[in-house]
Amino acid sequence: MAIEKNKQVVIKFNKEFFESGNTEITKELLADNFVNHTAPPNAPTDASVMVQFIIGFHKGFSDVSVQIHEVLGEGDTVSLRKTITATHIGEFMGKMPTGKKVEMNVIEIDILKDGKITDHWSRNDFMQVV
């Protein structure tokens, strides 16, 4: 049952944080010792970079939707494959709005302990899309 609960935590994080832009969910679902292994070089590896990214993302995009295609769990690890779709309505990472609908593909790996995400890795094609 722990694997299924961990899957639900990761799904909830994706829906609340990425899709809805609810940055407060980090307090509920990320551990105090959370490490973002995908943070840019020389950036903090806590949740702060992810929070700033999602705030900027939701300023630059509307109609954000996260479609989760697969969720795999083993032990304390959950992996998922998802597609994020959105409309580019505002400046994002120096790119002026295009008004176009975009689709970004992501593969994510999370480690959980006691119902909270402790470690996060992801690979995406954001920069090729925008």
Domain edges within the chain: 2-129
Q: What is the pLDDT of residue 127?
A: 67
Residue-wise DSSP of 50-108: HHHHHHHHHHHEEEEEEEEEEEEEETTEEEEEEEEEEEE-S-BTTBPP---EEEEEEEE
Closest CA to 111 of 28, 2, 20: 2
Q: What is the pLDDT of residue 93?
A: 85
Q: What is the pLDDT of residue 128?
A: 66
Tens of pLDDT, residues 55-84: 999 999 999 999 999 999 999 999 999 999
Q: What is the pLDDT of residue 122?
A: 95
* CATH code, 2-129: 3.10.450.50
Say yes or no to pLDDT of 38 above 80. Answer: yes
Tokens 């992501």 belong to 106
Q: What is the pLDDT of residue 130?
A: 60
pTM given for the model: 0.92
* Mean local confidence (pLDDT), 5-31: 97
Tens of pLDDT, residues 76-128: 999 999 999 999 999 988 889 999 999 999 999 999 999 999 999 999 887 66
Residue-wise DSSP of 98-114: ---EEEEEEEEEEEEET
